């Protein structure tokens, strides 16, 4: 099998390039359909996320394989981009490097936040879409199923995924979860609707089904965020009312002074809460909430500094798990390569053995017809001699195939053996 991968990731490419090359669901389907017509007899899967756009292609061998340049042209042509616009920002991989890369991607070792769980479902969705369109065949099926198996091993056999390292993930999984057993139907207030607030909402959405409420000075942006998360937008003058109703509040404004002082909290919010638990996630610099608010009864206030400390502890714990995760990647990559090479060489070995067995059997029959008086013991000795001779003749080419399979894709040797022994292709 000949494998190729081209694309851009957050490690090699800037955000502007990733945005220009990104595919939504409809574009992914359209692109796969177009490439199926353009690149005959090639299997293709397209993975497009906010941090990467990767095109995986597989063909039977060098004679039928696409070049990397052809794949790049196909990717760029769909978005009407020139090579100059992405120069130096595309990642290109071949064969076993593709295998290792996809395994690392699925296991979240290549993610911006290593260990984040979303990428595995995104890999599954990418493969399923290719299946639905008809561009994923048996070669990429083996590759992607092995990638999913590898990711599950990393998740099950290491602690890598158990240590969150982003501020929103730590806030929800390790802090807010200590206050609330479930987030279902919790009143979540977003103040400011910044990017960090949206990321926190993403983790909350994965953890339960909260009721989202947005208070923002910009009506347009506030309504956009509320609509995106099936929530409700409220005018800025309803801040105190929403804080009084909230179970959890996330604040990410650009205010230069605290929005909520202890005096304002005690006057406008505390009397209406009756000491109900309130989890406050202050992601603003400078702070939106005065530290004294966190001393009020029932209030749990965490700032960026508090969360940074928790993230740093988790990063150290996660780093200790890297060697174990990398070992699994190596094991599964080698296993995949061995299995593919075995499948590649098995038909040739079978035909080669059959090609020698046929003349052996014919010659033995001819010999035994000429020597009808041979006893059974003599016939067995002659048959064993013929078997040993065939095995010795098979040993050098089989040994060479084994060595070639261990060192790389044995296309050249397979073609040579087919020609030398006149085997069927």
pLDDT in tens, 409-424: 566 777 777 777 777 6
pLDDT value of position 401: 75
Q: Is 129 a catalytic residue?
A: no
The alpha helices in 22-136, defined as continuous H runs, are: 25-38, 68-78, 83-86, 96-106, 118-133
Q: Which among 115, 126, 125 is positioned nearest to 155, based on CA atoms?
A: 115
Most confident of 231-235, 321-325, 395-399: 231-235
Q: Is 133:125 a contact under the CB 8 Å cutoff?
A: no
Q: Is 229:212 a contact under the CB 8 Å cutoff?
A: yes
Q: Is the pLDDT of residue 406 over 70?
A: no
DSSP codes of every residue in 175-201: IIHHH-S--TT-EEEEES--HHHHHHH
Mean pLDDT of 56-82: 83
How far are the Cα atoms of 42, 94, 296, 387 from residue 65, in angstroms, in the given order? 7, 11, 67, 39
How confident is the model over 108-145, as pLDDT tens digits? 888 866 777 778 989 999 999 999 999 999 989 999 99
pLDDT value of position 160: 78
How confident is the model over 146-161, as pLDDT tens digits? 999 999 999 899 887 7
pLDDT value of position 355: 81
pLDDT value of position 163: 60
pLDDT value of position 407: 60
Share of the chain above pLDDT 90, in %: 44
Mean pLDDT computed over every residue of the chain: 86
pLDDT value of position 117: 73
User: Between these two residues, 43 and 206, which has the higher pLDDT value?
Assistant: 43
User: Catalytic residue among 8, 50, 178, 311, which?
Assistant: 50
pLDDT band at 326 (very low <50, low <70, confident <90, very high): very high
Q: Is the pLDDT of residue 217 over 80?
A: yes
How confident is the model over 242-282, as pLDDT tens digits? 999 999 998 988 888 899 999 999 999 999 998 899 999 88
pLDDT value of position 349: 77
pLDDT band at 64 (very low <50, low <70, confident <90, very high): low
pLDDT value of position 61: 58
Q: What sign does the CA torsion over 349, 355, 356, 362 have?
A: positive
Mean pLDDT of 386-390: 90
Mean pLDDT of 96-103: 95
Can you list the domains of the chain with their CATH numbers? 2-162 (3.30.460.30), 167-305 (3.40.50.720)
What is the number of other CB atoms lying within 10 angstroms of the CB of residue 373? Answer: 5
Share of the chain above pLDDT 70, in %: 91
How far are the Cα atoms of 182, 186, 244, 263 from residue 275, in angstroms, in the given order? 19, 16, 10, 16
pLDDT value of position 50: 75
Q: Is the pLDDT of residue 3 over 70?
A: yes
pLDDT value of position 62: 56
Q: Is the pLDDT of residue 87 over 90?
A: no
Q: Is the pLDDT of residue 308 over 80?
A: no
Q: Is 213:200 a contact under the CB 8 Å cutoff?
A: no
Mean pLDDT of 300-329: 80
User: Between these two residues, 37 and 408, which has the higher pLDDT value?
Assistant: 37
Question: Edge-to-edge strand order for the sheet containing 187-191?
Answer: 232-234, 211-215, 187-191, 248-251, 278-282, 299-303
Mean pLDDT of 175-186: 79
Q: Is the pLDDT of residue 235 over 70?
A: yes
DSSP 94: E
């Amino acid at each position: 099998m000949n494998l190729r991968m081209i694309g851009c990731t957050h490690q090699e490419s800037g955000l502007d390039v990733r945005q220009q090359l990104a595919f939504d669901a409809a574009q992914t389907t359209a692109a796969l359909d177009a490439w199926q017509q353009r690149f005959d007899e090639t299997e293709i899967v397209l993975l497009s996320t906010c941090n990467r756009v990767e095109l995986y292609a597989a063909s039977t061998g060098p004679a039928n394989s696409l070049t990397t340049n052809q794949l790049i042209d196909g990717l760029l042509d769909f978005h009407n981009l020139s090579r100059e616009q992405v120069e130096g920002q595309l990642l290109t991989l071949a064969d076993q490097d593709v295998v290792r890369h996809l395994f690392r991607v699925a296991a979240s070792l290549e993610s911006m936040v290593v260990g984040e769980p979303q990428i595995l479902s995104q890999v599954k969705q990418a493969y399923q879409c290719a299946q639905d369109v008809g561009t994923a065949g048996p070669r990429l099926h083996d590759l992607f199923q092995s990638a999913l198996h590898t990711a599950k091993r990393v998740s099950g056999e290491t602690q890598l995924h158990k240590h969150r390292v982003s501020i929103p993930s730590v806030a929800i999984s390790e802090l807010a979860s200590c206050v609330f057993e479930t987030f279902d139907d919790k009143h979540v207030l977003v103040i400011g609707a910044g990017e960090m607030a949206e990321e926190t909402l993403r983790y909350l959405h994965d953890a339960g089904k909260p009721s989202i409420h947005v208070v923002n000075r910009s009506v347009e942006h506030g309504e956009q965020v509320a609509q995106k998360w099936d929530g409700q937008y409220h005018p800025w003058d309803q801040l105190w009312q929403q804080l009084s109703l909230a179970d959890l509040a996330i604040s990410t404004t650009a205010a230069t002074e605290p929005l909520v002082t202890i005096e304002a909290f005690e006057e406008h919010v505390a009397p209406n809460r009756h000491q109900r638990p309130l989890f406050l996630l202050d992601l603003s610099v400078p702070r939106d909430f005065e530290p004294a608010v966190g001393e009020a009864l029932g209030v749990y206030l965490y700032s960026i500094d508090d969360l940074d400390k928790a993230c740093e502890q988790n990063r150290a714990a996660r780093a200790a798990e890297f060697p174990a995760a990398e070992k699994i990647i190596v094991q599964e990559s080698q296993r995949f390569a061995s299995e593919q090479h075995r499948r590649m060489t098995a038909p040739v070995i079978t035909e080669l053995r059959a090609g020698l067995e046929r003349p052996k059997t014919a010659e033995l029959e001819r010999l035994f017809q000429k020597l009808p008086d041979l006893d059974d013991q003599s016939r067995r000795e002659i048959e064993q001699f013929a078997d040993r001779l065939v095995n010795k003749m098979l040993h050098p080419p089989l040994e060479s195939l084994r060595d070639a399979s261990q060192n790389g894709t044995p296309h050249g040797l397979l073609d040579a053996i087919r020609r030398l022994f006149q085997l069927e292709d």
